[in-house]
Structure 1
Amino acid sequence: MAAQRKYPEDHFPHTFEIIILIMIFLAICHLCIEELAILLAWDSSTHRDLILGAFAFDLIFSLEFLGRTIVSLKEGRFLLYFPRQRGWIDFISSVPLAVLVSGPAIYLLFLSPDGQIEHLPQYMVLLKTAKAVRVTRALRLIRMLRIVGPVQYTESQMTNHHVATVATITVTTLIFSVFLLQLLPVSPVPGHAAYKSEVKHRLESYLADETRQKYEKPNATLFETAFPAIVYLKDSSGQVLYQRKESVPDWSPSVDLALSEGFTASLSYFQADANLALLILCLLAIILFLLVGYVLLYGRLFVQSVAEPVYMMDRGLRQWNYNLTIPEIKDRPQDEISKLANIYNRRWLPLKERIVAHYDRKKRDMEMGNSDHGHPMDSGKSVSLDELI
């Protein structure tokens, strides 16, 4: 199997690695569709299909991580694979998703008799609490840099590793910063508890307004605009003061609110989940733009500034007939790579020309000696570096 690998860090044959990359792309598309299903309030049958798809992807990637772990353990490079070759990304974007999200979702789904959706609200709560784990699937986009990198920088594996490392740090920091932001008391996208508290506070303020009658029915249009997540509002006697015209998604979890003076209301979390889904879609778009920017802009700059000079020096040191001059980095002459390139151009290339010229002259003298005297010249004479310089 090792002979069929294209890159040293691969664990499987190249064809299988390409299939994994395709699966990563499909998983990201599936994640976007999942968020759109919440944002656009698609029906529950669509959500059931998406749950099955999510479990399939999580199972495939969990098996992939298990396979890479087994191969790396057999080859004695697990400690290299897990921390340095982004094995930890393979782990957190597969096993926790299967254990914490899609696995329990499948369990809840099959608890429902005849495909009923009575357990879907429980899954939506689970989905909300494990949202940070689900977003880590976006980290698998880092592995796709390997299919973009070698196409553009065929001779620069160093560029591929460097760009992937920088992108990993950036994307990981972005994802976990958004996750920590949701845990703050004041957050642009609050969780269920904060959303419930905020809506309840505004509803209490509305009911305590002295300009309205205590049991006056609110204007349905204005009330729905102000409180889109409220399903109904009842007074202390149980009389319905407001009833939402359009039904909320049946897969969305809801909670009853006990208000002052005996008022009660029903709050649906579909609006909070829709706001979070919009945040996830925006986050994925930002990550995609970052990765494209790293590959097309930063990667090209790294090649021109570092990888190309190193590549030219490597060939110039190994091949006697390679004498190209490294382009000078005029805008950053104090950079270490610029100093090294200047030394290579001004010292090594002239010295190499003298060495080649000396042995060419020596070869001609040997040929002339053979022709004149019938025997080779003494080739045991050593030439010092000072003589060549």
Structure 2
Amino acid sequence: MDFDYAHYMLTEGRKGKENVAMVSSPSKDACRKQLAEAMNMNQTRILAFKNKPPAPVELFPREFSSLPQDKPAKLRRHIPQTSYRTLDALDLVDDYYLNLLDWGSSNVLAIALATTVYLWDATSGSTSELVTFEDESGPVTSVNWAPDGRHIAIGLDNSEVQLWDSTANRQLRTLRGCHQSRVGSLAWNNHILTTGGMDGCIVNNDVRIRSHIVETYRGHEQEVCGLKWSASGQQLASGGNDNLLHIWDKSVASSNSPTQWLHRLEDHTAAVKALAWCPFQGNLLASGGGRGDRCIKFWNTHTGACLNSVDTGSQVCALLWNKNERELLSSHGFTQNQLTLWKYPSMAKVAELTGHSSRVLYMAQSPNGCTVASAAGDETLRFWNTQQKSQICAMHIRQYQSIFFLQFPCINTARK
């Protein structure tokens, strides 16, 4: 039965009464009356009961909508296990206790080869010799960029430290009287340059004033081979050939406390050179032990508690936290002379990067965290891509590859 039609027929009679122009007849009125009785409709208005209208058709799939969606699946990450470029680094000193490689905030890599410091600008591709020292001063034992990326500190075998302006290519000053022997480790904290020497002393130097020595920390019995300030600038970590790791707090070290250090940690069983502060947790420090220890340890520097210890199976030479992932990169000596990328905190191996034929003594990370440079006792300098999934990082890698025909005066590109 068509209820709409029935409603029309029933209401026609009423419309006829309201509209005098409407034509009507007795036969039509009788027909309407019979129809109403048959349908049991005594009212002239009825409700039309119909099924619900269908849901509107979705013209575009949800994944193409401009509305916010669930987070896309994480891109699968591929880490190349070989370096994308290898350079010969002739006369690189094979000494575990030195620090001869650093990558500054202005994207310039500094490397010391014997008595010469070379600079490579990764942005422009230019290469230059900053300084060559006389034999009685050298060899160079440490290099470290200031936070501004323009000034660089150079530690020497004769116990001196020189400050250079890399942009103007000129020496600014020489710091004397800090140590009795070579200066193998350096660390900046704003305008304070901290130096560590073979004499076991740690010295804070204010480079703005003539009498630059402002504090001396004593706690190591042998050479200081590792120095790192925390990002806050409040705590200093130092490692030595005496197997000791010290955490120094500025407020404690400058007080009249009988012991200057905040924590003296004796868990390592070999020299502690490799140190790295975690970028995403300010009080987390990673330390690596030498050949007789082989462990990476993690510390809560507020409490001095050891949070974890992992036996890597070989000498730990250097540590770097990944700036873009929760990962730690370590470099090693005998037997594989590899770089190992670890997932933190599980310490599952993400990748092992191989190619060096001798212990990987030094590592430095580019400012954007995409590239790591490593220098080893085999006198090679290798560049690794640890962020393959990133388009930005891939762009930087291509840029580096395209400009590497420019070489250091003492470095050639014969090895690939």
Structure-1-length-normalised TM-score: 0.20
Q: Which has a greater percent of helix?
A: 1
Q: Which has a greater percent of strand?
A: 2
